[in-house]
Amino acid sequence: MSLFLEIPEWPLGIRFRTFNNSGEIVVPPHWHKEVEIIYVTKGSVNIGYNHKILQVHEGEIFVFESGVSHFFLASPESERLVYQFDEGLFREGLLGIAEPKQISTLFNEAENHSAQWPHQTTMTMRRHLETIYQEITAQPPGFQFAIIGALNDLVTLYFREIPKKQPSHISESFSEAARNAETLARLNQVFIFLEEHYHEGIQIKDVADHAGFSPYYFTRFFKKHTGSTFMQFLTEYRINQAKYILAHENLPMAEVAEKAGFNSVKTFHHVFKEKVGQSPLKYQKAIFGNN
């Protein structure tokens, strides 16, 4: 089975998100540079990590460090909260205290499964995670600060209370993370090029040349690590740009299409409706109203 890179979207404008998953679901092997926390609130989930399958029960927590492949299979009656954040969040702005290596080491060296933590530490972590989810769901005034505060408290637990894993497991996770970091660095060249040129008529050869690949190798490399072709990825990116424009600017469709990188209004309308399930005009009216 192919191993895909997951690229999260950040709805809050900071590199953090949380969401609820319920019911029977299979998430295939994938990896990402973000730390991911699974908090099982009902039932149980089978976690694939470090070449093993582990069962995480109700009330337990499992943490995937940056760059390590994983998958999970959830039971039909299970529910879980999922949290993802970029380690860089703790090196920016008011949080810019810890060294990059220090933050990465925290998550790489710590025991992943709360079953190996002191009971009180698990209870404290659950409180922080529940606070974050409640704040992001209700979004009262100042909720962003509450989320950042809870994330800081979470990292403090890693500094002070969460035990370290066995040395052999640390070396295995470091090795895989290093391989994935190299892949991510190469893909990042592609993502930067896409961000700067998505509104232009990009061809496979253009981006392959920029990344230093032949078109043939680039096509295989990109599909292997993202799960989609570059042109599919580019179309999805342009649709997301169009959705952002439609949500923030009341512009004619022709101008939206041009700014999002589509070569005609007709193509834009067709692709948008196919991907989003409604026309761009209806999408815009749902946000701004009919006035």
**How does pLDDT run across 196-216, given as a tens digit for each residue?**
888 888 889 999 998 888 999
pLDDT of 270 over the 90 cut: yes
Percent above pLDDT 90 for the chain:
37
Nearest to 92, CA basis, from 184, 194, 16 = 16
The confidence score (pLDDT) of residue 255 equals 92
* Cα 269 from Cα 237, distance rounded (Å): 15
Averaged pLDDT score across all residues of the chain: 83
Confidence of residue 28 (pLDDT cuts 50, 70, 90): low
The more confident residue out of 262 and 188 is 262
The confidence score (pLDDT) of residue 51 equals 67
- Condensed to tens digits (0 to 9), the pLDDT of residues 121-179 reads 999 999 999 999 999 999 999 998 899 899 999 999 999 999 998 765 545 555 555 56
Residue 132 in contact with residue 186, Cβ under 8 Å?
A: no
- Condensed to tens digits (0 to 9), the pLDDT of residues 228-257 reads 788 988 898 888 888 888 888 888 899 999
Lowest mean pLDDT among 9-13, 132-136, 249-253, 273-277: 9-13
Q: Note every long-range contact of 229-232, with CB atoms under 8 Å and residues 24 or more positions apart, other chains counting.
A: 230/190, 230/204, 231/204
pLDDT of 15 over the 90 cut: no
Query: Among the residues of 161-229, which ranges form H helices?
Result: 167-197, 204-211, 215-226
Q: pTM of the prediction? A: 0.64
Length of the chain: 291
Gyration radius from the chain CA atoms: 21
First-to-last CA distance in the chain? Answer: 50
Domains of the chain (ranges, CATH numbers): 4-165 (2.60.120.10), 169-227 (no CATH), 233-288 (1.10.10.60)
